Amino acid sequence: MKGSVQRYMVTGMMCLIVLVCASCKWGKEKKTDTGTTQTAVEQPASHLVKEITSVEEFNKILVLGKGVIAKFHAVWCPPCRLMGPLVEKMAAQFRNINFVSLNTENPALQELVEQYVLEGIPMFVFFDPCSQVVLMHPGGFEEKEFEQTIRRFSTDYCSKKMATV
């Protein structure tokens, strides 16, 4: 009896370790072309995705006359971290749109978090060149869905902008 209880405890602890490690950097190793193992290191944000640190900075970007895609995230949020590389890839592909990232744990951004994060994180908010919200998307995106959404967004706001000229 005592042995089976210990086995269950050990199994339970191993499951807990696996769950904790799934959301941290442990075990994120990859084989290189030379056959050596390299541990993945979290990359800094791309220079194409601007990390916003204040409401004033966010407002300045909104009035630049370009569409804006804002990603609200938190460092501890695994889905948010998974979206980081995809957002950077889309920022490189869609240079006519400003991509910004806002950490929901930054006290200086709480006004924006309360205004735009209504259903959890990650939260993507799409603003047209007139600073109007045209889409709020809670949760992550698959790559193809994200690209199609951005294409539709950039086409729609560009055609509206062209029609008013």
Domain range summary for the chain, segments of one domain joined by + = 49-164
Q: Give the model confidence (pLDDT) of 87-111 as tens digits.
A: 999 999 999 999 999 999 999 999 9
Distances (CA, A) of 1 to 4, 6, 9, 86, 129: 5, 9, 12, 50, 68
How many other C-beta atoms can be found within 10 angstroms of the C-beta atom of residue 60? 11
**What architecture is the 49-164 domain classified under in CATH?**
3-Layer(aba) Sandwich (3.40)
pLDDT level of residue 44 (50, 70, 90 thresholds): very low
- The least confident of 13-17, 43-47, 50-54, 115-119 is 13-17
DSSP 46: P
Which carries the bigger pLDDT value, residue 138 or residue 34?
Answer: 138
pLDDT at 13 over 80: no
Question: In terms of pLDDT, which residue wins out, 99 or 25?
Answer: 99
Mean pLDDT score of the chain, rounded to an integer? Answer: 76
Kindly state the average pLDDT of the residues 74-89.
94
**Predicted local confidence at residue 154, as pLDDT:** 82
Checking if the pLDDT of 51 tops 60, the result is: yes
Q: Which long-range contacts (CB under 8 A, 24 or more apart) does 84-90 make?
A: 84/45, 85/43, 86/141, 86/143, 86/146, 87/49, 88/45, 88/46, 88/48, 88/49, 89/143, 90/146, 90/147, 90/150
pLDDT score for 27? 34
- Ranking 31-35, 108-112, 120-124 by mean pLDDT, the lowest is 31-35
